[in-house]
Chains A and B, each alone.
Chain A
Amino acid sequence: DVKVTQSSRYLVKRTGEKVFLECVQDMDHENMFWYRQDPGLGLRLIYFSYDVKMKEKGDIPEGYSVSREKKERFSLILESASTNQTSMYLCASTGDHEQFFGPGTRLTVL
């Protein structure tokens, strides 16, 4: 059974903290994505990667960075968390046109 896993389901951090969200897929997919989902706004793409060490900005990259050192792992980094980054974060991977999503991390920044 294909699987995308995320390191935490719930996370609470303080303003200014550095936050790492981890995503691992076991499908040997080249493409991986980070989205945030907010009520009424749908899913918005933060960053994506189509190969190891390759990254591309999505629609809302400000305040975020990413790392892809291994094919199966894609990390999202909030350099200095702010309250407006409180959201649901979803990771996905794909080898063709079907994206497989992880369960999501609900991040609260206080």
Chain B
Amino acid sequence: GQSLEQPSEVTAVEGAIVQINCTYQTSGFYGLSWYQQHDGGAPTFLSYNALDGLEETGRFSSFLSRSDSYGYLLLQELQMKDSASYFCAVSPNSGAGSYQLTFGKGTKLSVIP
């Protein structure tokens, strides 16, 4: 089976940096993704890591260590609009099912002034 662990809630101050960790135990591993979801909205894609290391996209970065079964999402220069839930997700399969995702339960980030 698959399991992903991430903190349920995180609070951070506007302008600060926050890191949301994700550890996973899966029967197979193809890549780690991150999604953002605002209250009442649909999840939107943030990043995908298939290889070890850091991927940077603007204020957001995502890191993966395959040997540690661990990744994180780093949000810099936090803004109020970053208040949302963040989900890590694992692609456990290759081939035709490689785009299937198993999601973590999500981390609710609250950005305070």
Binds A, one of B13-21, B43-51, B58-66, B75-83: B43-51
**Interface range, A side:** 20 to 34
Mostly, the B contact residues are mixed
**Interface range, B side:** 20 to 34
Q: Which residues of B contact A96 (CB under 8 A)?
A: 99
Task: From B41, B91, B97, B105, give the contact of A42 (CB < 8 A).
Answer: B105
Q: Which residues of A contact B103 (CB under 8 A)?
A: 35, 42-44
Q: Which residues of A contact B42 (CB under 8 A)?
A: 90, 101-104
Q: Is A70 an interface residue (CB 8 A)?
A: no
A 87-110 contacts with B by CB, 8 A:
90, 92, 94, 96-104
Contact A33 B104 (CB under 8 A): no
Interface-centre pick from A41, A92, A97 (highest chain B CB count, 10 A): A97
Residue of A nearest to B6 (CB): A42
Cross-chain pairs A/B with CB under 8 angstroms, 8 sampled: A33-B100, A35-B103, A42-B106, A43-B87, A43-B103, A56-B97, A56-B100, A90-B43
